[in-house]
Structure 1
Amino acid sequence: MTRVLLVDDEPLVLIGMQGMLNWAALGYEVVGTARNGAEALRAVQEKQPDIVVSDIRMPVMDGFALAEACHKDGSALPAFIMLTSYEEFDYVKRSMRLGVVDYLVKIDLTADGLTAALEHARDTAEKEKKLRMPSPAPVSLDTFRDRLFLQLYGGLFTDRAVFDRQCAELGVTFKAPRHIVAVGSLQTPDLPTSQLVTLSTGVTRMAAETLPKYRPCRVTAMDLRHFSVLLPLEADEDPEAVLAPILKTAGQILYNYFSTAICWAVGRPVNDILKISESQHDAFAALPLLHEGEPVAFYHESPNTQLDHRAQVVGQVQQYIRDHLSERLTLNDVAAVFNFSPNYLSQLFAQNSESGFVEFVTATRITAAKELMASTDLKVYEISDKVGFDSAFYFSKVFKKLEGVSPREYMQRMKVSYVDAKDEATV
């Protein structure tokens, strides 16, 4: 709604203008009236109207003095429509300044004339508002590289030529014979969303600055508690021997700075970069293996202990959830798939996972939604349906709670066109 303030020292004129139009139907809201310029100035400061329709001749402060006072800071808002008489017409015509965009002769005032003047003023006000809007921050090529990696992790590249072209455009190359994913996990108690957003952003940014000092890599935020690190490996390198010391060192640096423990779960290496989603899935499946005494866990196909076995079972359930996000995933439904009782499955998650069953399903759906936002043009309600939410409204509510922004705001960030850049990234 465009906000309008009506100003005239004649009560009948104010009443007449208020009843002359169906203001709401035309997209206007009359936010108040005033009987003189001084009263109007206070109303402008309090109610912040977009348009002021004001008489010129008024006691205490006339219309022009009011307009001058409203615009003394150089602002073009509010836009003014002046009411005048025949005797003042030529004077007013010579004084089209001070934010005055139109003038109307009182005695000839009609609904059509007032509507036309309001439309003119609204156009002026909207243009001024656009000028006041902060320019969007320049989007770096890294934003689009993150999008590429989210698509990779989602297994969304089916055409190698398309993938190669995007890599060339973004200056990304994959020269190593093998690649592997480590998932960094913030071991932090429940925090208000705003604090968690700040912490997650800071940790992820510092991880992206710290880890490349030890080994080339790419850090990509996944959700508020996890980020993925894509690392290159030579053909004969042992992932555990090479990566465990690096990840422990980086985790200690992050802990020293943020007082938040970072644990790492590492998947199996892959020979084809287009299969890197498999390594990330393995890493997420290894998350339940993490515990306080061991900050780095590597995925193994054969569990070594009973504890590992339970953690591996949880990892299998988690993978089932990732593969069936569009379906019903209640505790009872998933327990039935694995021939567990709901209570047993709930206990497995409580004892061998970073989060409870419901929390894991929700976080996984949001992560999948982010991958779809990065790689498709689907609408919010279509994404909501694909990742298994009952309604787009509930999806938006949950997304904002976990990510700190609405789905639309997140999508706008991902879809902005990037500017030319010459820098390169190699992993």
Structure 2
Amino acid sequence: MKIKLLLADDEPLVLVGLQSMIDWNAYNIELCSVAHNGEEALKRIAEQKPDIVLIDIKMPVKDGLEVVRECRKAGSELPLFILLTSFEEFQFAKEAIRLGAVDYLIKLELTSESLADAVKRCLKLLATIYTRRQGTSPAGTMDDLSILYERFFIRLYNGLFENRQQYELQRKELQVDFSFNAYTVCYCEILDSASLSSQNCKQRTQLYSGTVHMIRETINRYMACYITSLDLRHFNITFCLSQQELPDVQHLLQTILQEASDTVYSYFNVTLTCRIGRLVKDPYAISESYASARHVLSTAHIAFFDPQTESTPPSLDIPFYRKEIAQAFEQLDMDVLSQALSKIAAALKAQPSHYIEALDIASTLLYMSITLLPDGETLLNRIFTGEDSYRCLYRCQTVVQVVEWITILQSGLVCELTKRRQTYKAHTVQKVMQYIRANLNRKLSLPEVAAFFGFSPNYLSQLFAKETGQNFVEFITHEKIAAAKEMMANSDCKIYEIAEKLGFDSAFYFSKVFKKVEGCSPREYMRRSIDRI
């Protein structure tokens, strides 16, 4: 896949010259659009989603710096910007660096070599960003970006975020677009059938993947949505609704879901049930829509939550157990996990007539285990060794059988997670360290990083110190100074530029920290390095 480039300049000759100055194809870059003023540039960025923008600072309507500011306000680290100007101005250069521009080039001094160097820096940074988003970065504990999305949405559906700040941090990092007017969750189930029952696990997985992919392709032709896998029979569709779609939303969703259901039945002979929850305006409240979708009582294949006849949450729902279990998963706290599952089993056993609610709670435990635990599905397949593995839950016909399933889950998780506890903690700290290294250009705080990984600041601080032998702030400081020394050795960056790139408040503060760590000022360090050469 080619990297997309947008050129923005109010001088037509400059645009022509930039297109031919270097061989863009040699860098796997294609020109996706051009713009002649700042307003047009913002429009093209929204439409084309370029990876790199080469933009003039002085332009009509909006200047280049305004364009960069507006893009960064949206919380995205892309596109990357290379800024052009007709003259050298220190204040412009400083502002460009503060806003995160990759380079600042003067038109009169621009050569194919200097432009190529700037492009290479962009490509290197792009590789880091896309690697991080695809899961090898600290942002996640698995190897696929889709897993990070599923973890985010599972937390959102079940109200597992500690606060709105933690939710916003993860949403921005994953670039989840919640700029719509309303949202609703559709809880989907692939109904069992004779043909489905005869398939092995691999065949079911392929069928499930094909079904979800076709549902996504069908719905995306009509409206924005996010689809989240729960297990090999269930998935959620989070519909993102614009103001224009709201007046006739029920008829619109009925039509879209019917087409999607008919399509997968035609291709895969799969029958779906779709339960649509209440509308919410605040995406942080999507858990309310999910809870109502899970308890739609209608037997129709496509049914909507009716606030006149249905209520949520169910009587057996324990409001705090989800967060307890999520925290136990994150910290591998077997005592908390065992106690929480025992309480749930006891509460279910005390009300044997509430089969639907019991199955609902067990299903939630299943989804959380699969999604929140590293290699969650593999782990569950080791715990439940029968042919249906953990899917034997759906053969439970009574509350007693559901409780037995939860008991097996409890003992299995405690046993398996105890084995991997120490390894997992070391792995977690490695991911935190990778996250820090990938974000040295920002002013990172312990609460912010802890929130991103779903930990309390106190727990992360203790874990980090125990695993690394140094505290959180010391590690960040030494990593930033190491990065600064590398910039001094391998670039022509000035001291104030290095300070800006590494997220220091000022060059003075950067120099003070550098001297504390290295025993000399940055300028003295650079002089000594030159003398050695």
* TM-score, normalised with respect to structure 2: 0.38
Between Structure 1 and Structure 2, which shows a larger proportion of helix residues? 2
- Largest Rg, 1 or 2: 1
Greater share of strand residues, 1 or 2?
A: 1
**TM-score scaled by length of structure 1:** 0.46
The structure showing larger relative contact order (alpha-carbon pairs under 8 Å, at least 6 residues apart) is: 1
